Amino acid sequence: MNRKPLGTTNLEVPEVGLGTWAYHAGPEPLRRGLEAGALFIDTAESYGSEPVVAEAMRGLRDQVFLATKVSPENFRRADLFRAADQSLQRLHTDRIDLYQLHQPNPDIPIAETMAAMEELVNAGKVRYIGVSNFSVQQLQHAQAALRKHKIVANQVRYNLVDRTIEPDLLPFCAANGITVIAYSPLGREWHRLADGDPKGVLRTVAAETGRTPAQVALNWCLCQEPVVVIPKGNSIAHVVENCGASGWRLSREQRARLDREIVFRRRSPFEMLLRRSVPPGITQSVRRMTRWLPRGLRRRLG
C-alpha cells in the first residue's frame, strides 16, 4: 500500500483508507482491509459505526491511523469535549489520530471551536486537527483561529463525476499542505459513475491495466498528489478490491481519456448550501426516486 504525507506533518498515511458511512457489514471486512494495508479508518459520531471500528481494530490500534468527526451541533467548547470523550469511549482508545469538524456551523464562532480543538490536542486526546466539507474561505477562517496547530486535512466529496473541488479547493489544499480526503470516491452509488460513462471508458482502461473499473476510478483520484481516498466496502471482496487501487498509476494518456470521456459536473456554492439544508430523509427519498429516471436526467440531478 502506497502512503502519502498527512498535511505538512512528518506522518504518512495509506492512500487508500476505509470509509464507514452507511456501513453495515460488521468488523470482518474492515479487519481484512487493515490486513491488506489500508491502515486508515474514517468514521464519525453521527455514523453509528465507531463501535464496529473499535472491534475491527482490536489488537492493531497502534498500527491504525484513526479518524473520526464531531457533529456541528457539538462545536461549543463543552459540547466538543463531551463529544470527543464519548467517541474515545466508543472507539476503545485513548487518542484520536485525526479529529474533524464534520461540516461548517455558522451559528457557533469558529474561534471557540478551534480553541477547543487545540485544547484536545494539548491534552493528548487528539493528534491532528481536520475539517470536512469546508470551502477555501471557511478553511482560511478556521486556520486563522488556530494559535499553534495547523489543519492537516479537509474531507470532501471527489470522484470522476463530481469534480466540484477542482477549480479552487483542490489547488488551495495542494498549495497550503492540506491533505484532501476524498469521500464517495466511487460515487455515492456505483450507478452514478456508470451514468457518467456512456462510452464505457472505465471498462476499456480497466482491461488495459489489468484492473477493475472501481480500481481505475479510485486510482484516477489518487493521481492528484494531495488526495487520499476512503471508499466504503460492505463486503470483504469489495474492501480487498478497493485496496488494489494502490501501488500503481494510470498513464498520462489514460487519465486524459478519462477526463475527456467521463461526463462530470461541478456544483455551485448555492447548490451545495441548498443540499446541506435539506433534511437527510428527504434527500434519501429523492435519491431513490431518481434511480428510475433516464440516465441524462439522473446526471443533472445527481
Say yes or no to pLDDT of 275 above 90.
no
Strand, coil or helix: 57? coil
d(CA 296, CA 302): 10
Nearest to 217 by CA among 181, 180, 192: 192
Burial bucket for residue 240 (CB in 10 Å: 0-12, 13-18, 19+): middle
Q: Which of 47, 99, 128, 158 is catalytic?
A: 47
d(CA 98, CA 47): 16
Say yes or no to pLDDT of 299 above 60.
no
Whether the predicted model's global pTM rises above the 0.85 cut: yes
d(CA 241, CA 82): 37
Query: Where exactly are the structural domains of the chain?
Result: 3-263, 267-302
Nearest to 238 by CA among 13, 4, 12, 16: 16
Buried (b) or exposed (e) across 244-276, using 16+ Cβ within 10 A? Answer: bbbeeebeeebbebbeebbebeebeeeeeeeee
Partners of 3 in beta bridges: 14
Say what the pLDDT of residue 284 is: 54
**pLDDT tens string 205-254:** 999 999 999 999 999 999 999 999 999 999 999 999 999 999 999 999 99
Q: What are the helix and strand counts (H, E) for the chain?
A: 14, 10
Phi, psi of 155 (to 5 degrees): -95, 120
Tell me the pLDDT band of 266, cut-offs 50, 70 and 90: confident
Q: What fold, for 3-263?
A: TIM Barrel (3.20.20)
Active site residue 47: yes
Q: Which residues contact 128 (CB under 8 A, 6 or more apart)?
A: 6, 7, 9, 11, 97, 98, 99, 121, 149, 152, 153
In total, the chain counts a number of residues equal to 302
Say yes or no to pLDDT of 281 above 60.
no
Say yes or no to pLDDT of 302 above 90.
no
